[in-house]
Structure 1
Amino acid sequence: MAESVVTFLLDNLSVQLQDEFRLLRSVRDEVQYIVDELERIKSFLRVADAMEENDANLKVWVKQVRDVAYDIEDSLDEFNLRFAPTCGGRAFHARLRNLLRFVKNLRARHRIASEIQGIKSRVGSISEGRRRYAVGGIGSSSGGGLVRRRLGRQGDALLLEEADLVGIGEPKRRMIEWLMGNDSGRQVVSVVGMGGLGKTTLVKQVYEDPRVKKRFKVHAWVTVSRSFKTKDLLKDVVQQIFRVIRKPVPPEVSSMNNDNLKESIKDLLKQSRYLIVLDDVWHVRAWESIKLALPRNDKYGSRVLITTRNAEIASSSCVETNDWVFSLAPLAEEESWDLFCKKAFQGNSCPPHLEETCRLILKRCGGLPLAIVAIGAVLGAKDKASKDEWSILRDSIGPEIEGNYNLDSMKRVLSLSYSDLPYYLKSCFLYLSMFPALQNIENMRLVRLWIAEGFVVEKEGKTLEEVAEGYFKELLDRGLIQAAGTTNDGRIKSCRIHDLLREIAILKSKEQDFAEITKEQGSVWSDKARRLSVLNTPQNVEHKNVSKLRSLLVFVEEDSVAEFSLSALFPRGFRLLKVLDLRGVSLEIFPKVVVKLFHLRYLSLRDTKVKHIPGSIKKLQNLETLDLKQTYVTELPAEILNLKQLRHLLAYRYEIESYAHFDSKYGVKVPIGIGSLQSLQKLCFVEANQGNGTIMTELGKMSQLRRLGIIKFRERDGIALCSSIEKLTNLRSLSITSEQKDETIDLHRISSVPNLLQRLYLAGRFEKLPHWISSLQNLGILLLKWSRLKEDPLVHLQDLPNLVHLEFLQVYDGESLHFKEGGFPKLKLLGLDKLDRLQSVTMDNGVMPGLEKLVIQRCKLLKNVPNGIEHLTMLNAIEFFDMPDELIMKLRSDGGEDYWKVANVPAVYSSYWINGGWDVYSVERFSEKESSQQGAAAATAVRSHRRSTLWKV
């Protein structure tokens, strides 16, 4: 973690040293010395960071490095703040003000120079400490061995006894069935999942099964661990094979090089049916180093089993068609309960008065067997404790993990995943600790926050957002976060972190002054904290010195009406703040103090009642994200054009009166000259009905735009918009809504469409469907509303190769739709809404082979079930909303003539919009008794679908 702090600091220092005018010569010399020393320290930190847990002296040294890095950052930010250029004003007056400020701040210059002198002295002392450690062997060959031995011990999986596990029977049966199969070629199966799921335990039970031992006479179990050496790994395999075949290990094995060892393994295995287990694989190179030594000997049917926490390793090792990735899932709720009771109550039932508390404790374990066993064992020792004592324990799981020896093994196993992270991911992971437990976290919110914090390292040919999304995927692949919400085109919209991993992150964050969380009145938190997360209500914060604070995130309870005042809560101010997230706080007026935050990069007022953005916002010269979504801001001041670093501008809200209302989306008026914001990547939603179309022309100047949303579009602005769209070659998502429902959207003049476009939302009338839509090879989502086309749109859309989500609302005035064979090869969701003249739908055999969900609503003349619907073999759900009774009756399971067409679809139901809400009329795939039990679930599904059709970009 200290390495990431120093790396970030070095990047900033390099920029500072290039600016001759903002750094005095004497200070430059001191900073250059500091840079040189920190560069030398940095390489040492990579080893020290991994070792500090078990070395108290080293831990103190790493903390000193971290503290001095933070202090240098503070000094430089103070320096920049003091001498930041004045915004606006006439040139002469601006220069005069800057001159006066220069004279006024001479004292500040000397103070900061003195601080840096002091920091130089501290860095020198720290460097001496580094050299003392180097003499002791850290960083030398012997030191490396020490690291390997320590990590090797940590890498040993904490095996759970089979008797301790529940739910292992089915995975074990499936795996043995696979091993005993008749496939003759060498096959690889990777068992993947987060630490503590029981991967090693499962594979160990399979490996030691008598049937498996009998089938695979030659077998070897190799624990790889994080710090493996290829030669040691190969030598271990050779020695195990010789032991299994009952032959002495030849003396020359000890002196063989890697190539000779691989040849020896190949010779030993080429005439055998073998089973090799590679347990605890952390790096792809571990598999790469041994796979060529494992012969395919196709006629024997050999097998390789791999356990790993990293999904990327699992997929890269299973590249043949007959290989298999087995994702181990957490235990189901009842399986978790059985295991918990077995450990906490020695197999007896949970006392009734403790059940509610115990189930809440169990929820924190998230189905993780290791956590359930460890926490259950601790609680078992408290079987005579009162209900209040158990409740206290429930609320203090985090501190309990830190202080309870019996939970140390669980903490160590979970911490391993964190320790293995590269430096650039450690800060990103710790940032997750600032979000409330069990909350789904939007991935784009994380991406923007990470960028604002400076965690994201630039890569040539990629935007910072693309690099950050790569970080997100890495954390996902490593099992440190789980996907919580996905779109139909496969994008992950939100994630969550396992509650116990979050507790680990909280402990690490607090220990390293990375972040603090305050959630109760009188919470104690360090003045050195760089980030503060305020949970529940802002009133929990006590007035403290927050001069070092870089980020403030406030999370309020739903429907909270408590008044919020930054000035009242933090009277001493936080001049160095970079991130301010006030989502959902009770706020009606833009806080004046915000415009004093020169370093601010991220500002979110989402879900507040703010109506007006002042012109003084121009002072926020470093602002990158301005999130005004779901506020009441309707116009942005002209001064917004001063924010040249702005990358994401979100200013819109939804007000849903009914489930398909035209005027449900509100955007903002933007000033003339918006095209000068060259760094913008997301701009939503711009009101187009301003002036003579100048705004539409301006859009073409923002070449970095990835996502663009336009509302109140006028037909006469079509030429200007078409010209702009042709220039937006990086565009991934485009949403356009006309000024009136019957106003024509003229987009036919686009001759060169952005070929990266993935999502297209068009609401308004078309004379005919734009010809260029059929050429969008990367289009995944297409939503069309109120188009009122005379010609069948399917003809132009059926060959789109990557379309997975298609919705129509009053799109077509014809009487029939024909989905032809071979059309829509990847479509997963199809929605047809209010096609007023539609009387028949035909689906050929071979059309939409992957369709999973079909939604048909408000088509009042469609009284027959779609012909050929029985061909859609992948359908999981069919939903009918406000459809004729004649159609619904034909689908009833108790005698409907067309029920056979949907008999194999798991869920078929209908509902009606009554008095502003959905009334679930019937759930067709259940009996009457089951229907009453499932009605609430069906209603939830209906509401979920309606939410999913809100227009976003």
Structure 2
Amino acid sequence: MARMLMKGTYNILIPLVLIYGIQAFEICPKLQGYLLLIDDVWSVETWENIRNWLPYTKGSKIIVTTRFQAVGAACSERDGTDSLHTIKVLSEANSKSLFNLGVSESRSSKYTIDMEKEEVHEEIWKYCGGLPLAIVTMAGHVACNPTKNNDDWNKMCRTLFPEQVVPLTLDGVTRILDYCYNDLPPDLKTCSLYLSIFPKGLTISKKRLTRRWISECFVTEKQGLSAEEVAETYFNQLISRKIIRPEDHSSNGKVKSFKVHDMILEYIVSKSSEENFITVVGGHWLMPAPSNKVRRLSMQSSGPKHVNLTKGMNLSQVRSLTVFGSQNRRLPFHSFNNGIIQVLDLEGWKGMTDKHLNDICKMLVLKYLSLRRTEVHEIPSKIEKLQYLETLDIRETDVEVLPKAFGQLKRLCSMLGGSKTPKKALKLPHEKNKEPMKALRILSGIEINEDSTAVASLHQLTGLRKLAIYKLNIQEGGQTFKQLRSSIEYLCSCGLQTLAINDEGCDFIDSLDTMSAPPRYLVGLELSGKMERPPKWIEDLNNLYKLTLSVTVLRTETFKLIQNLPKLFTLTFTLSVQKDDRDIVDILEENKLLTDREIVVPPGGFKSLKLLRFFATLVPRLSFAVTKEEVMPALERIDMRFQAFEGIYGIETLKSLQEVHLSVGNQADEITKFLVDELKDSPNHLAKEYAEKWPQIITD
């Protein structure tokens, strides 16, 4: 981004004040001298309004940053241009490179563009004034409109840039955003406006967004695709159009979370306010009070000045309420019409208590309810009144057991509970379901013990696509043991796609080896805890994309068993049981003895594997076979988290490897620390041809 900075020299100011927010303009006039930093001013008008508030005090200094040359000029006009420091915009070469990269990233089989033939593309990036936001936004627009011809692009350039090639102002960038927004299909317009619910700078979960789209009926089944698949398609289109940018990726390679650029978000918030689509209260944006009834309310500030900002608003038509901020505050539940609220997202709200659930259970058409990271302890039986509920998220709460009434939620699709760190699980109700929950697709974070009578009806959940059991406490060979095994085998035959089981001592996972048929629909499999051996049928899972196994089966034979899985993207070896478990240590030592104290990754196979991870107290010596045949040819990254480490060898032969991440525990011994340092220093002792191929070693 182009940024200008007012600069100058000054003596020590007394008092020297660093203030964030609008309060600065109230305090500065009272000071004898001040140093004020104002970051990211977007327009001359905004600067003039700020300047009129500030006194001219001898010895004071104002530092302003902006993306726009016109703002920089306005800030420095009284002092001369010597106080203006311009950070150069992108050169023509870099602008063109960024534009072409943006187009390339946004391409797919649906959007293919011949850059050689489309000479008008050059004109587009030249008009963007070297501003990265403008360049990547136009690149996304070009990539997603493959049918447009030269005349179309020329017409667009004349519309957007009537002044030819001049430095872009805020108005120019806004014109670009406006043009790209108006070009969106109606469904994507709605989905992009929905982004205004989230605060500036927030890292947003993809699943949180797409589940809410579905609950708001913005996304439905279409042309043989499920609502979830359509939502995934829409989400990817927003990425291609550069409306959102990926922040983190899941271990399956898909985007896990994202952010929205500040200027794009401000545009979306403004557009959303104009259309009375979403009302934002508090937070970064100063939006006018809605003249119409509020339909979707986003409460973004936890400061005391914003507590009563809903006062005077007509909240009787609110159908969606989202609360951000961790402070304890009162919500105007009494102002809502319980008969129309469909989405209630209170994730992270510290004011949430069990008594609020009585009000929530009156919201009879509620579809999406998130109480994640709140202080709720118990779900009341009254929840059975929420007959339209599709998503219930109570992860990272103190809820330990579901009520008997849980089975009455016939439209529930996603039941999300428990927590991974620390490991906590949600007990199923002590009652058999009289009628199966046929709509249930995700059941995650549960605990199964000998008292779990609901296990007897688990096989009735034939629509289940993900089952994640965080804790098992059942007797080997007992009735619950047999019922659970039978249910899992049956659900796998019905289309279960993701199965996760953490077994710390029931020998349940080992019993899965004798399943009558391989679970061929699985794309994700996680078997953690104590295992003697991986199920042999794993080698037949041709659709498997993500595999997690206990480190207790980390041996050469395991790599040989799974090396021919054609789609395997991520392979993880992990250990979640207690560190002082001597059985685990004995198993690891025995595994090493089987292959001369070294685990060898054989050549050939693993054609699609890109991520290899080891999360355990002890990571034994690991070697990649050095032969003429390639070893893990697509592998890009290795992650290791450990207390003790015995070394990793042969990584210079991994032609695609880019990074090795090592997370060393604070109780690591001197040998482990020495081996880590040796690994980092290895390129200095290798021949040049190997040193140049050495991956980046990152430690923390």
Q: Do they fold alike, i.e. is TM over 0.5?
A: yes
**Counterpart residue number, 2:359:** 593
Report the alpha carbon displacement of residue 509 of structure 1 after superposing the two structures with TM. Answer: 1.6
**Counterpart residue number, 1:822:** 604
Report the alpha carbon displacement of residue 889 of structure 1 after superposing the two structures with TM. Answer: 5.1
SS in 2 for 1:450: helix
Aligned partners of 1:190, 1:589: CA distance in 2, in Å?
Answer: 63
Please state if 1:891 is matched with 2:684.
no
With normalisation by structure 2, the TM-score equals 0.69
Aligned partners of 1:574, 1:837: CA distance in 2, in Å?
Answer: 54
**Counterpart residue number, 2:187:** 424
Report the alpha carbon displacement of residue 594 of structure 1 after superposing the two structures with TM. Answer: 1.0
Unpaired runs of at least 5, structure 1 = 1-162, 177-186, 193-197, 206-225, 227-278, 291-304, 310-369, 376-406, 657-663, 910-937, 940-953
RMSD (CA atoms) = 3.9
Aligned partners of 2:155, 2:427: CA distance in 1, in Å?
Answer: 49
Report the alpha carbon displacement of residue 373 of structure 1 after superposing the two structures with TM. Answer: 2.9
**Paired residues for 1:863-882 under 5 Å:** 865-866=648-649, 868-880=650-662, 881=664, 882=668
**Paired residues for 1:692-841 under 5 Å:** 694-713=453-472, 714=474, 715-716=476-477, 717-728=480-491, 729-740=494-505, 745-788=510-553, 792-809=557-574, 813-814=591-592, 815-834=597-616, 838-839=620-621, 841=623
**Counterpart residue number, 2:212:** 449
Tell me which amino acid in the other structure corresponds to 1:525. P
**Counterpart residue number, 1:499:** 262
SS in 2 for 1:792: helix
The superposition leaves residues 203-238 of structure 1 with CA deviations (integer Å, 9 ceiling, x where unpaired) of: 689xxxxxxxxxxxxxxxxxxxx9xxxxxxxxxxxx
Q: Is the 1:722–1:749 Cα contact (8 Å) retained in structure 2? A: no
**Counterpart residue number, 1:849:** 633
SS in 1 for 2:300: strand
Q: 1:667 aligns with which of 421, 426, 439?
A: 426
Aligned partners of 2:382, 2:418: CA distance in 1, in Å?
Answer: 21
Aligned partners of 1:502, 1:173: CA distance in 2, in Å?
Answer: 25
Tell me which amino acid in the other structure corresponds to 2:366. L
Q: Is the 1:843–1:869 Cα contact (8 Å) retained in structure 2? A: no
SS in 1 for 2:513: coil
Q: Which structure dedicates a bigger proportion of its chain to helix? A: 1
Aligned partners of 1:199, 1:515: CA distance in 2, in Å?
Answer: 38
Identity across matched positions, percent: 30
Report the alpha carbon displacement of residue 533 of structure 1 after superposing the two structures with TM. Answer: 0.5
Aligned partners of 2:428, 2:145: CA distance in 1, in Å?
Answer: 51
Query: Could you say if the C-alpha distance between residues 545 and 432 of structure 1 is closer, same or farther in structure 2, counting changes exceeding 3 Å?
Result: same
SS in 1 for 2:639: strand
Q: 1:631 aligns with which of 371, 382, 397?
A: 397
Tell me which amino acid in the other structure corresponds to 2:654. L
The superposition leaves residues 425-445 of structure 1 with CA deviations (integer Å, 9 ceiling, x where unpaired) of: 222111111111122221111
Aligned residues: 542
**Paired residues for 1:203-352 under 5 Å:** 283-286=145-148
Report the alpha carbon displacement of residue 789 of structure 1 after superposing the two structures with TM. Answer: 6.7
Query: Could you say if the C-alpha distance between residues 620 and 666 of structure 1 is closer, same or farther in structure 2, counting changes exceeding 3 Å?
Result: same
With normalisation by structure 1, the TM-score equals 0.52
Report the alpha carbon displacement of residue 764 of structure 1 after superposing the two structures with TM. Answer: 2.2
Aligned partners of 2:256, 2:155: CA distance in 1, in Å?
Answer: 25
Report the alpha carbon displacement of residue 531 of structure 1 after superposing the two structures with TM. Answer: 0.6
Tell me which amino acid in the other structure corresponds to 1:779. L
Q: 1:682 aligns with which of 439, 442, 451?
A: 442
Moved more, 478-487 or 793-802: 478-487
Q: Is the 1:604–1:626 Cα contact (8 Å) retained in structure 2? A: yes
Q: Is the 2:281–2:297 Cα contact (8 Å) retained in structure 1? A: yes
Query: Could you say if the C-alpha distance between residues 308 and 455 of structure 1 is closer, same or farther in structure 2, counting changes exceeding 3 Å?
Result: farther
Aligned partners of 1:430, 1:707: CA distance in 2, in Å?
Answer: 30
Q: 1:546 aligns with which of 307, 315, 338?
A: 315
Aligned partners of 2:349, 2:378: CA distance in 1, in Å?
Answer: 16
Query: Could you say if the C-alpha distance between residues 802 and 697 of structure 1 is closer, same or farther in structure 2, counting changes exceeding 3 Å?
Result: farther
Please state if 1:189 is matched with 2:115.
yes
Report the alpha carbon displacement of residue 687 of structure 1 after superposing the two structures with TM. Answer: 1.1
Please state if 1:490 is matched with 2:253.
yes
Q: Is the 1:819–1:844 Cα contact (8 Å) retained in structure 2? A: no
The superposition leaves residues 360-403 of structure 1 with CA deviations (integer Å, 9 ceiling, x where unpaired) of: xxxxxxxxxx998313xxxxxxxxxxxxxxxxxxxxxxxxxxxx
Report the alpha carbon displacement of residue 512 of structure 1 after superposing the two structures with TM. Answer: 1.6
Q: Is the 2:294–2:314 Cα contact (8 Å) retained in structure 1? A: no
Q: Is the 2:427–2:448 Cα contact (8 Å) retained in structure 1? A: no
**Counterpart residue number, 1:357:** none
Tell me which amino acid in the other structure corresponds to 1:616. K
Query: Could you say if the C-alpha distance between residues 857 and 469 of structure 1 is closer, same or farther in structure 2, counting changes exceeding 3 Å?
Result: closer
Unpaired runs of at least 5, structure 2 = 1-86, 101-112, 129-137, 157-164, 576-586
Aligned partners of 2:461, 2:691: CA distance in 1, in Å?
Answer: 49
The superposition leaves residues 754-801 of structure 1 with CA deviations (integer Å, 9 ceiling, x where unpaired) of: 433222111122232101211111222212225357772111111111
**Counterpart residue number, 2:92:** 168
Aligned partners of 2:88, 2:622: CA distance in 1, in Å?
Answer: 58
Report the alpha carbon displacement of residue 625 of structure 1 after superposing the two structures with TM. Answer: 0.8
Report the alpha carbon displacement of residue 670 of structure 1 after superposing the two structures with TM. Answer: 3.2
Aligned partners of 2:296, 2:354: CA distance in 1, in Å?
Answer: 24
Query: Could you say if the C-alpha distance between residues 373 and 489 of structure 1 is closer, same or farther in structure 2, counting changes exceeding 3 Å?
Result: same
Aligned partners of 2:392, 2:167: CA distance in 1, in Å?
Answer: 42
Aligned partners of 1:510, 1:522: CA distance in 2, in Å?
Answer: 8
Aligned partners of 2:622, 2:403: CA distance in 1, in Å?
Answer: 52
Please state if 1:584 is matched with 2:348.
yes
Query: Could you say if the C-alpha distance between residues 514 and 874 of structure 1 is closer, same or farther in structure 2, counting changes exceeding 3 Å?
Result: same
Report the alpha carbon displacement of residue 595 of structure 1 after superposing the two structures with TM. Answer: 1.3
SS in 2 for 1:700: helix
Q: Is the 1:411–1:504 Cα contact (8 Å) retained in structure 2? A: yes
Report the alpha carbon displacement of residue 903 of structure 1 after superposing the two structures with TM. Answer: 5.5
SS in 2 for 1:793: helix
SS in 2 for 1:704: coil
Please state if 1:643 is matched with 2:409.
yes
Query: Could you say if the C-alpha distance between residues 576 and 166 of structure 1 is closer, same or farther in structure 2, counting changes exceeding 3 Å?
Result: same
The superposition leaves residues 633-661 of structure 1 with CA deviations (integer Å, 9 ceiling, x where unpaired) of: 111111111211111111112344xxxxx
Moved more, 505-514 or 726-735: 726-735
Report the alpha carbon displacement of residue 415 of structure 1 after superposing the two structures with TM. Answer: 1.3
Report the alpha carbon displacement of residue 501 of structure 1 after superposing the two structures with TM. Answer: 2.2
Aligned partners of 2:198, 2:487: CA distance in 1, in Å?
Answer: 39
Aligned partners of 2:483, 2:190: CA distance in 1, in Å?
Answer: 44
Q: Is the 2:624–2:631 Cα contact (8 Å) retained in structure 1? A: no
Q: Is the 1:552–1:580 Cα contact (8 Å) retained in structure 2? A: yes
Aligned partners of 2:536, 2:561: CA distance in 1, in Å?
Answer: 8
Tell me which amino acid in the other structure corresponds to 2:92. I
Aligned partners of 1:723, 1:555: CA distance in 2, in Å?
Answer: 43
Q: Is the 2:556–2:602 Cα contact (8 Å) retained in structure 1? A: no
Aligned partners of 2:683, 2:417: CA distance in 1, in Å?
Answer: 52
Query: Could you say if the C-alpha distance between residues 539 and 171 of structure 1 is closer, same or farther in structure 2, counting changes exceeding 3 Å?
Result: closer
Query: Could you say if the C-alpha distance between residues 282 and 626 of structure 1 is closer, same or farther in structure 2, counting changes exceeding 3 Å?
Result: closer
Q: Is the 2:416–2:445 Cα contact (8 Å) retained in structure 1? A: yes
The superposition leaves residues 249-298 of structure 1 with CA deviations (integer Å, 9 ceiling, x where unpaired) of: xxxxxxxxxxxxxxxxxxxxxxxxxxxxxx957644446x99xxxxxxxx
SS in 1 for 2:169: helix
Q: Is the 2:499–2:526 Cα contact (8 Å) retained in structure 1? A: yes
**Counterpart residue number, 1:116:** none
Aligned partners of 1:677, 1:613: CA distance in 2, in Å?
Answer: 18
**Counterpart residue number, 1:529:** 294
